[in-house]
Amino acid sequence: MTLLIALVAVVSLVLLFCAYSKWMQQYWARQGVTQLEPRFILGDTFPLGRGTISVKDFFLDIYQQYKPKGLKCVGIYNTHVPELVALDSTLLKDIIIKDSSSFASHGVFYHDTNVLTSHLFNIEGQIWRERRVKLTPLFTSGKVKMMFESVAGIAPGVVDVVGKSADSNTPLPVKDVLSRFSIDVILSAMFGLKCQSLYEPDNMFRAIGKEALTPNAPKMYIENLFNRNFLGKIGYQSFSEELVVTFSKVIKETTEYREMNDSQRNDFMKLMVQLKKQTSLSNNDGSNDIKKSGSYITDSEILCESFFMFLAGHETSSSTSTFALFCLAQDPEIQEKLRTEIKDVLKKHNGKFTYDALMEMEYLDKVVRETFRIYPVVPVIPRRCTKDYKVNNTNIVIEKGTKIYIPVIGVHLDPEFYPDPLRFNPENFSIENRAKRPEVAWMPFGEGPRLCIGMRLGYLQIKVPLVALLLKYKFTLNKVMQPPFIAEAGTVVYMFKQPILLDVTRIN
């Protein structure tokens, strides 16, 4: 009898859950918002968790299917949890710029029990606001200009390594080499650490980067699906203990060293140490960057910020410089035009590669922007609604807590903004063409108060190796590189499943 009652109770609970799930999966329809056709219980995003579709393709498909219907947004379900994809450029602008205070969170996983996760990208609310103020001074144009020497200092290494492919007539695994270059750059420019990933591909930092960034669809899905506090409480760990211990040790030693030895380097570590000691970051001219007295940062904050800067600082930029060479390898005319500009500008600067010379390379800037357009390394940006929000000129209310997606890739490939969206055309970024588009028609670094804090450094890391390499080598696609080029699933970063292989020849 007891067994029968228990069975009835379980069946009733299951039926109740199914009915609830079914009812929830009509949430957007009840609001008058067009929605996809969610799978019972599993919802729409399940293929992302199974790794059968990439994040890039998932959101591009939605954008291309629903934007031409003139919709402002479209509803999707993560199991039965309602989420929203914004489509219309006015709504996008309202969310990320005009009414950004209602969407001030990225809504991604972080928890105190996962020491590497409570960094600027993930944290929310007042804690985020204060941390953003503390970290902003590191990325001023003046500070980034000072980092030029560190970045340019590593460029001869990448030229040397690529030269080996040219001389041995072997295809260049370009992402691998540029990723190693970027690791060396970020460790030098931000932490004052000398790392030789270019020559020691199996070194510790490379291993850390690989582990943290290896595509993992279930992990990505779990972190998106469950409440972050729930995951934290059940002991979920985003990274392996070995990775946490190794990275923590390096940062602890570096912080201690920098605390004991007053360094002239105005880098990330110096700022961290100064914030820890509750002082201000002084500039070379004696002025201070941090106005708020009492700014303070703890050792654990130094650790997680260092971790995110390390990851964000090398993966995004090396992916973009790789995509840039991939595009240039397919278009010899654009490649040659860029090379001519580089030579001309350097000639004007007596052959010296300086920060000012780099800033004068306008065509290079267009090439990089166009690369970002077709291959945005962050193809979709998440936001979480932080207070109930009524969408202008509609009856739609986005409730507090709802997750919203900014489909960057869809916008970048929209023929309304770019007439021939799949053609690599740097002239899309001429002054005249830029003026014709809404400001949110190009946002590889996001927009508004959450705009990428490392944008200037990112540009530097992309442009410097391009200049150094294009001066010495010609690039073409290796014959194994045949379309279609499929995007990798299980990662929020846009990358191809197959490695990009280029043929390299020296320019005499």
Smallest distance from the beta carbon of 324 to ligand HEM, in angstroms? Answer: 11
**Applying CB under 6 A, which of residues 99, 102, 132, 330 lies at the interface with ligand HEM?**
132
The span of 171-179, 286-294, 373-381, 475-483 binding ligand HEM (CB under 6 A) equals: 373-381
* Amino acid letter, residue 139: F
Which residues neighbour 390 within 8 Å (Cβ) at sequence distance 6 or greater? Answer: 396, 397, 398
DSSP string, 166-193: HHHT--EEHHHHHHHHHHHHHHHHHH--
The span of 83-91, 194-202, 214-222, 309-317 binding ligand HEM (CB under 6 A) equals: 309-317
Site for ligand HEM in 222-241 (CB under 6 A): none
Instruction: Report d(CA 36, CA 33) in Å as an integer.
Output: 10
Smallest distance from the beta carbon of 453 to ligand HEM, in angstroms? Answer: 5
Instruction: Report d(CA 326, CA 315) in Å as an integer.
Output: 16
**Applying CB under 6 A, which of residues 117, 179, 316, 402 lies at the interface with ligand HEM?**
316
For ligand HEM, the closer CB: 470 or 493: 493
- Contact (Cβ atoms closer than 8 angstroms) between residue 297 and residue 439: no
Instruction: Report d(CA 408, CA 380) in Å as an integer.
Output: 5
Site for ligand HEM in 142-171 (CB under 6 A): none
- Contact (Cβ atoms closer than 8 angstroms) between residue 378 and residue 407: no
For ligand HEM, the closer CB: 120 or 487: 120
Which residues neighbour 45 within 8 Å (Cβ) at sequence distance 6 or greater? Answer: 58, 76, 77, 78, 79, 83, 221, 224
The span of 191-199, 276-284, 376-384, 485-493 binding ligand HEM (CB under 6 A) equals: 376-384
* Amino acid letter, residue 293: S
For ligand HEM, the closer CB: 269 or 377: 377
**Applying CB under 6 A, which of residues 232, 313, 379, 410 lies at the interface with ligand HEM?**
313
Calculate the alpha carbon distances from 223 to 62, 78, 381, 460, 504 in Å.
22, 12, 15, 32, 41
Which two tokens mark 422? 């799949």
For ligand HEM, the closer CB: 154 or 166: 154
Q: 């001519």: which residue's tokens? A: 340
DSSP string, 304-356: HHHHHHHHHHHHHHHHHHHHHHHHHHH-HHHHHHHHHHHHHHHHHTTT---HH
Which residues neighbour 418 within 8 Å (Cβ) at sequence distance 6 or greater? Answer: 373, 412, 428, 441
**Applying CB under 6 A, which of residues 35, 117, 165, 320 lies at the interface with ligand HEM?**
320
Site for ligand HEM in 394-453 (CB under 6 A): 444-447, 450-453
* Amino acid letter, residue 16: L
Give 479: exposed, middle or buried? Use CB within 10 Å, 0-12, 13-18, 19+: exposed
**Applying CB under 6 A, which of residues 77, 109, 308, 442 lies at the interface with ligand HEM?**
308
Query: Using CB under 6 A as the criterion, what x/- string covers residues 257-296 for binding ligand HEM?
Result: ----------------------------------------
Alpha carbon distance, N-terminus to C-terminus of the chain: 90
**Applying CB under 6 A, which of residues 33, 155, 324, 457 lies at the interface with ligand HEM?**
457
**Applying CB under 6 A, which of residues 81, 303, 329, 378 lies at the interface with ligand HEM?**
378
**Applying CB under 6 A, which of residues 74, 187, 281, 309 lies at the interface with ligand HEM?**
309
Smallest distance from the beta carbon of 39 to ligand HEM, in angstroms? Answer: 29
Number of shown-chain residues binding ligand HEM (CB under 6 A) = 24
Residue 452 is assigned to a ligand binding site? yes
Q: Does 379 bind ligand HEM (CB under 6 A)?
A: no
Binding site for ligand HEM (CB under 6 A): 120-121, 132, 308-309, 312-313, 316-317, 320, 377-378, 381, 444-447, 450-454, 457-458
Binding site feature residues for heme: 452
Binding site feature residues: 452
